[in-house]
């Protein structure tokens, strides 16, 4: 009984905290007046310093105007950066078709962020699926713009109810992790408006999201961090976005282009948005001080709006391990499951009739609770498929396990390729050309020990622009008649690239 009362009190305290966060928000006129007062106190150098991030996940502090260091965390599906946290679903959240559930998930994520002193959660991800091979599909909200928009709005409202800014991403047309710095999404205006922009538009107009993150890719020939049409004309002017337009990490490519193209904050540091590059540009009239002022205003406005300049962001009354979050995560996982077929009513498994089960697949053990990269939240507890099935059946049945087909990395380690039929070097002979016909001398010719990748060579050889090509040759002679398993993993095709395997 005492434990139940304590739990009710804790829930009431969190509800009161959420109400206070909402009630404490000042009027827009008061916010703007305070922004202008603070802006006047900053030098041109301080303004430039502010729009370049520091220490990977922070906006720098300016103590004399009481602006604290603003802390960020990866977070489409949970607080990733600061130890274990509750992990939720991405596309699974959308598959639930439940905006109330999405808001509850966002609220828990906001509370987890406050427990860790986080100001910006870098999520949700709302890009529309264009390819099933996109490496970030697991954290996006599917291929339907209406569903993605409804899920995103509810999620953002939940996060921001806790005094934490959401950061909707990746703006826009992000369809590939492969060659993500160079891939170009060609999307006509009508398709852009009807399919790819609605979720971002709803995040701005309905959820009043605090930040938008520009993606790595180009859209219609221009990198997003310097795409003035999308950043300024559409998001800021047409939609009325008043928050921060930040870059994805190392997704900025030109100082003047980004400054004039609507980017407000370069992350994780000011590699381009810095004194050395922007101060001369301002002096030469290539970038106006008014343009810099607008960026600084957006940072200050966001900090004031969420109350960050008037309180400590770390809320010690919130537990880092959320019992409520665990239940919401479980409900989300169950709600997002879809059973397409159940021949013979096999499911749920009948413990009394099941004698043995074989669990097959490389992801069955150890547990793979989430995808990688920014979505790799470390949960407090993770149960693998193998363990979950074994625990469910108990001692009454045997559970067998096999990883199944080897991974590409395992096959690369086992396979003994040589560059020549006899006397060659171990590995594959890779040759890269600055033309699609593979004519002339290769610009890069080298032996690759395990695999051939285009991405690393693009970064290594600046002449690989426009149309280019490559080929890989190798030999393998079996010692006896046997079955051989070959695996070739195709990645997204780079525009203008010809690739030959021999």
Residue positions annotated with a catalytic role: 248
- CA distance from start to end of the chain: 72
Burial 253-266 (b: 16+ CB within 10 A, else e): bebbbbbbbbbbbb
Instruction: Give kind and range of the element (H or E) at residue 500.
Output: strand 497-501
Counted residue by residue, the chain has a size of 502
The span from the CA of 493 to the CA of 67, in Å, is 45
The span from the CA of 492 to the CA of 247, in Å, is 23
User: Is the Cα torsion angle 101, 103, 109, 114 positive or negative in sign?
Assistant: negative
CA R_g for the chain: 26
The span from the CA of 389 to the CA of 144, in Å, is 33
The span from the CA of 309 to the CA of 313, in Å, is 9
The span from the CA of 282 to the CA of 305, in Å, is 29
CB-based contacts of 296, cutoff 8 Å, min separation 6: 39, 42, 47, 50, 51
Tokens of 218: 């180009």
The span from the CA of 291 to the CA of 427, in Å, is 53
DSSP state, residue 405: S
User: Is the Cα torsion angle 42, 44, 48, 49 positive or negative in sign?
Assistant: negative
Reference 273, options 493, 60, 467, 62; nearest CA is 60
CA distances from 217 to 377, 425, 475 (A): 24, 37, 37
Reference 312, options 1, 70, 72; nearest CA is 70
Q: Where are the alpha helices (DSSP H) in 336-434?
A: 385-393, 408-414
CA distances from 396 to 307, 344, 354, 385, 386 (A): 57, 21, 8, 18, 15
In the sheet where 218-219 sits, what is the strand order? 184-185, 218-219, 222-223
Tokens of 369: 């609770």
Q: How many CB atoms lie within 10 A of CB 185?
A: 20
């Amino acid at each position: 009984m005492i434990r139940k009362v304590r739990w009710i009190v804790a829930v009431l305290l969190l509800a009161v905290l959420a109400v206070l966060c909402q009630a404490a928000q000042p009027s827009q006129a008061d916010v703007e007046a305070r922004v202008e007062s603070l802006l006047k106190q900053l030098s041109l150098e301080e303004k430039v310093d502010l729009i370049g991030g520091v220490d990977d996940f922070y906006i720098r502090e300016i103590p004399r105007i009481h602006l604290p260091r603003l802390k960020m965390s990866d977070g489409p599906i949970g607080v990733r950066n600061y130890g274990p946290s509750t992990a939720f679903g991405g596309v699974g959240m959308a598959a639930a078709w439940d905006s109330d559930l999405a808001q509850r998930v966002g609220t828990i994520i906001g509370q987890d962020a406050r427990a860790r002193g986080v100001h910006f959660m870098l999520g949700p991800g709302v890009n529309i699926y264009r390819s099933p091979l996109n490496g970030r599909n697991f954290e996006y909200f599917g291929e339907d713009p209406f569903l993605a928009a409804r899920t995103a709005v509810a999620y953002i409202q939940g996060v921001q109810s806790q005094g934490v800014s959401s950061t909707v991403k990746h703006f826009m047309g992000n369809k590939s992790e492969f060659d993500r710095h160079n891939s170009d999404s060609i999307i006509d205006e009508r398709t852009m408006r009807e399919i790819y922009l609605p979720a971002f538009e709803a995040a701005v107009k309905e959820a009043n999201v605090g930040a938008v993150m520009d993606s790595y890719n180009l859209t219609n020939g221009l990198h997003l961090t310097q795409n003035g049409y999308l950043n300024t004309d559409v998001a800021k002017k047409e939609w009325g976005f008043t928050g921060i337009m930040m870059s994805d990490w190392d997704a900025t490519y030109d100082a003047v282009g980004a400054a004039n193209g609507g980017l407000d904050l370069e992350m994780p540091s000011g590699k381009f948005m810095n004194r050395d590059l922007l101060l001369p540009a301002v002096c030469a009239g290539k970038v106006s001080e008014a343009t810099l002022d607008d960026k600084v205003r957006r940072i200050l406005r966001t900090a004031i709006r969420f109350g960050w300049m008037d309180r400590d962001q770390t809320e010690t009354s919130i537990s880092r391990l959320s019992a409520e979050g665990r239940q919401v995560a479980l409900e989300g996982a169950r709600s997002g499951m879809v059973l397409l077929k159940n021949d013979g009513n096999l499911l749920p498994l009948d413990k009394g009739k099941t004698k043995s089960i074989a669990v097959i697949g490389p992801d069955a053990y150890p547990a793979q609770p989430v995808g990688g990269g920014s979505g790799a939240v470390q949960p407090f507890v993770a149960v693998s498929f193998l363990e979950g099935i074994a625990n469910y059946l108990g001692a009454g049945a045997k559970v067998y396990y096999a990883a199944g087909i080897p991974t590409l990395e395992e096959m690369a380690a086992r396979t003994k390729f040589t560059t020549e039929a006899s006397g060659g070097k171990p590995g594959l002979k890779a040759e890269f050309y600055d033309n699609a016909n593979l004519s002339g001398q290769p610009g890069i010719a080298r032996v690759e020990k395990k695999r051939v990748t285009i991405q690393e060579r693009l970064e290594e050889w600046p002449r690989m622009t426009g149309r280019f090509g490559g080929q890989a040759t190798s030999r393998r002679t079996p010692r006896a008649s046997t079955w051989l398993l070959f695996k070739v993993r195709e990645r997204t095709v780079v525009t203008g690239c010809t690739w030959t395997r021999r």
